[in-house]
Structure formats: structure tokens, C-alpha cells
Amino acid sequence: MADQKLMEKIVSLCKRRGIIFPSSEIYGGFANSYTYGPLGSEIKKNIKDLWWQRFVRNREDMVGIDGPILLHPKTWEASGHVAGFNDQLVDCKNCRARLRADHLVESALNIDCEGLSDADVTKLITENDIQCPKCGKKEFTEVRKFNLMFSTEMAKAETPSNSHLSGGGNIAYLRPETAQAIFLEYKNVVDSTRVKLPFGIGQIGKAFRNEITPGNFIFRVIEFEQMEIEYFIYEKDWKELFEKWFDEMKKWCTDIGLPTENCHPYEHPKEKLSHYSKRTVDIEFDFPFGKKELYGLAYRTDFDLSQHEKFSGQKLRWRDEGGEPFIPHVLEPTFGVDRSVLATICAAYTEEKLEDGSERVVLRMKPVIAPVKVAVFPLMKKDGMQEKAHEILKQLQIFGAVEYDDGGAIGKRYRRHDEIGTPVCVTVDYDTLQDDTVTIRDRDTMKQERVKISALAQVLSERYFS
């Protein structure tokens, strides 16, 4: 069940506490574009670092790359994105709302537009008197295809290698998926490293899509980040490895704090598979606005490498000792960074009624994802306490981002850190100056305990960061 109120609270918390801001606000805003603030950028970095550690560094069968956003334009012809990465678009002539035509028909008539031509969808809209959901009028333009790739113009003069481009210009595309940069470097990676089939190449980076109807905060945006793996395999192994990768993806969800009961597999029906896929299973998550795609796992067969062979004229093959060269097949586990951030925040957001009748909001995030690992407070703004607190803060920087806070009543400081998910707070008080002990206060239980400063790092490491 969609919970719009909950979503509004989460968006407001993100803005208030410096997690995520709508971008370009001083110019009146820029639709569907967001800035990760001081805390949001920490959450995002924690997720990306964890992913890289787990899927690239900790696996003997994986390596990483960091490819460019602008790739040779032929890439997108070979991959099928120039011809096929389209949505059906329609404009309301009255209020100028720009709408996905298939979504309009689906919600009005409950008809699936998959495979219908633009003319057929136009006919459905006019013959059934469908209304514009924004203004209620029934005057639409014809339905037309709209390519979701952003294009840009290169300053460099046309060269023989890009003279095939449409209109003879110097158009390049901002990549709509990070995957293709990996396929383009398959040969370089094989030639320069000691990888052996099966092996994977991982990459984290920006992708851009000119989405017609973005929305739901950072769920669907025009500029986002992906963490993708292209895992090169023998064709015969695809079924078994597909299951293994899906298990890995489910484990990842648990490890970033997403409850198992809120993560659901979704098998794409055969007739709705992307042009490159023989099987795709998504993991959907129960966001406050409904059950939606979080991640995906696709069996891309040998489609991409075959296409790049054809378009580039280069051999992109694997050869076992004594065997014939062949094009490996590919499994693709793909993870959206922004959707990971949103899902972890939604899963962690909790409102609690306390025994004294007051309420608190807590982000019950896993310490590994939490933007601030430890907060250190001097009880009073007094000489001695402040210095000691700064001293302790320095020692605790080994755990990641830590924060010093001496503003306002201690209870308020605890509440602020509950709201941003700080797993533990450390308070320096009068006793600290006498006996070198501090109070540690746990975010989830709110229990407080005295700990020797000399044992503090060890205690926090064992309880929160091991």
C-alpha cells in the first residue's frame, strides 16, 4: 500500500538534515535533479565502498574498471540503444504535460501497449476519449518515439571514424548504462590481466536517461549512478550461475539493512524482456510509494560482445588452451546506487513512542551505511571538556566520519543523531576529567554505559564496526 505521508516525512527529513536537497534551488529548482548533502554523500559513498569491497576486491574472479561517460557513438548503435531505447511520448495540447503514452493507456483502459505501434496507441487514446491526468482535457498530439539517451555535441571536427553519425554531425551520447564501457574494454582486460573464465568486470559510475516521467524523489531521475557487473561465462553454465548471482544479490540486500520480507523477486515475462536478454529477474522493494524495481539480474547471452565484434571489426573472443576461440556469454547483476540509498533510508526510518509520552524519529541504519559513525559531545561548553571531546574524536576517526557537537541540551543532541542514524554517541562530562571515563549511548536501545577512554575504540569496534 502506497504511503504518501511517510514519503513526505522522509523527503523532509532528508532536506532538513542535509542528506538530499533538490538541486539548483537558488534558481527556482531544476526538475528531478538532486544534490547529496554532507550526510547523503557519506551514505552514498559507504554503499559504493561496501559494494566495491565485496564484489570487486574480495573476489578472486572479479576486477574493476572506471570508464568514461562519453563513449564512441558506434557503441550505442551496436548495443541497440540508438534504434531501441525509446519510450512512447505524447503531449497534452492544452497544459503541455509530457506523458508516457503507454502509461496513459494502461491506467485509463488497463491495456498493455507492449508491441503496439505509435499509430495504434494514438488510436486507442483518441477513440477512448482518454483525459489528460493533469488538466482533464482530451487533446493530445500524435504518439511518437522518444529516445531516452541524452546527446551532446563534440567540438572536435568530424573524423572518418565518426562520419557515419546521423546528420553528419559530431553527436555523442551520455551513457544510459555503465555496462557498455565494460564490453568495450573486455579485450583490454583479458590482454592485460590474468583473469580466467568465468570472471567479471565491475564498474561504478554515472548514467543518464532522458526519462519522460521521472519522479518519486531519487527513485527515477535523469542522472543517476549504477554499480554493474558483466560476468563472462561459458554458455553451458548460465542457469547455475544465474541462481548463484541472484543469491549474492539477495545477501547484499540483507547486508545493507533491507528486510527480507520487503524484497521480492520479479521474473520478467518472455515477451517483455529487453532486446539483449534471455532471462531477467528483478529484486523489487516495498518503497513507501509501492513495490518497485530496486536491482536486476539479466542473462545477456553473447549479444553485446557479438554486436561489438560486428560493428568494430575486432575479435572479442575467449580461447581455452588448445580450444577454438568463442564469444563468452554474460550475466549482468546491476544495482542502482540512488535506489540503494533510498531503500536503506526508507527501511531504516522509524517513529517511536517513548515511555515518557514523547516521540522520536530514528534511522535504524546499519553502522556500515550510517553517515556519521560516532558523535562526541562535551556535556558543557567548558574548558577541559571541549578539548577532551576533540581529542577523543580524533581517535575515533578510524571508524569513518565522526562528528563533534556542543550545541544545545544533551537530549536534543541525542535526538538529532537518532534522526541521522548515528549508531553511538559519546559524552564527556565532569567525571571524565577525574577518572578518564565517558558515557556511551546506544542509538537503538538508548541505553547508557560508562567506558574507560583507553578501552573506548576497542568497545566500539567490537559492538558496531567489526
Site residues (CB under 6 A) for ligand GAP? 177, 179, 209, 211, 220-221, 224, 226, 228, 293-296, 332, 334, 336, 338-339
CA atoms 276, 278, 283, 287: torsion sign: positive
What is the smallest separation between the CB atom of 92 and ligand GAP, expressed in angstroms?
22
C-alpha cell at 86: 525509446
**Distance, CA of 306 to CA of 287 (rounded, Å):** 38
Burial readout 408-433 (b: 16 or more C-beta within 10 A, e: otherwise): eebeebbbbbbbbbbbbbbbbbeebe
SS3 165: coil
Q: Hey, what's the torsion of the CAs at 173, 178, 182, 184, to 10 degrees?
A: -10
- In whole angstroms, the minimum distance from the beta carbon of 208 to ligand GAP comes to 9
129: cell is 476519449
Q: Residue number with the shortest CB distance to ligand GAP?
A: 336
DSSP secondary structure string for all residues of 187-245: HHHHHHS---SSEEEEEEEEEE---SS-BTTTTB-SEEEEEEEEEEE-GGGHHHHHHHH
* Residue with smaller CB distance to ligand GAP, 177 or 418: 177
Nearest approach, Cβ of residue 276 and ligand GAP (Å): 9
Minimum CB separation of residue 421 from ligand GAP in Å reads 22
Minimum distance between the CB of residue 300 and ligand GAP, rounded to whole angstroms?
8
Q: How far is the CB of 287 from ligand GAP (least distance, A)?
A: 12
Q: Do 102 and 86 contact (CB within 8 A), yes or no?
A: no
Minimum distance, C-beta of residue 65 to ligand GAP, in the bound complex (Å) = 15
User: Which amino acid, one-letter code, is at 286?
Assistant: D
- Shortest approach of ligand GAP to residue 374 CB, angstroms? 31
Residue 326 Rama label (left phi>0; alpha psi -120 to 50; beta): beta
Q: How far apart are CA 3 and CA 288, in angstroms?
A: 5
C-alpha to C-alpha distances, 7 to 10, 14, 29, 300, nearest whole angstrom: 5, 11, 20, 35
SS3 374: strand
- Number of CB atoms found within 10 A of residue 334's CB: 20
Residue 338 C-beta: closest distance to ligand GAP, Å: 5
Q: What angle do CA 205, 209, 211 make, to 5 degrees?
A: 145
Closest CB to ligand GAP among 179 and 425? 179
What 163-167 contacts at long range (C-beta under 8 Å, 24+ apart), as own/partner pairs, is 164/74, 165/73
Cβ nearer to ligand GAP, comparing 77 with 211: 211
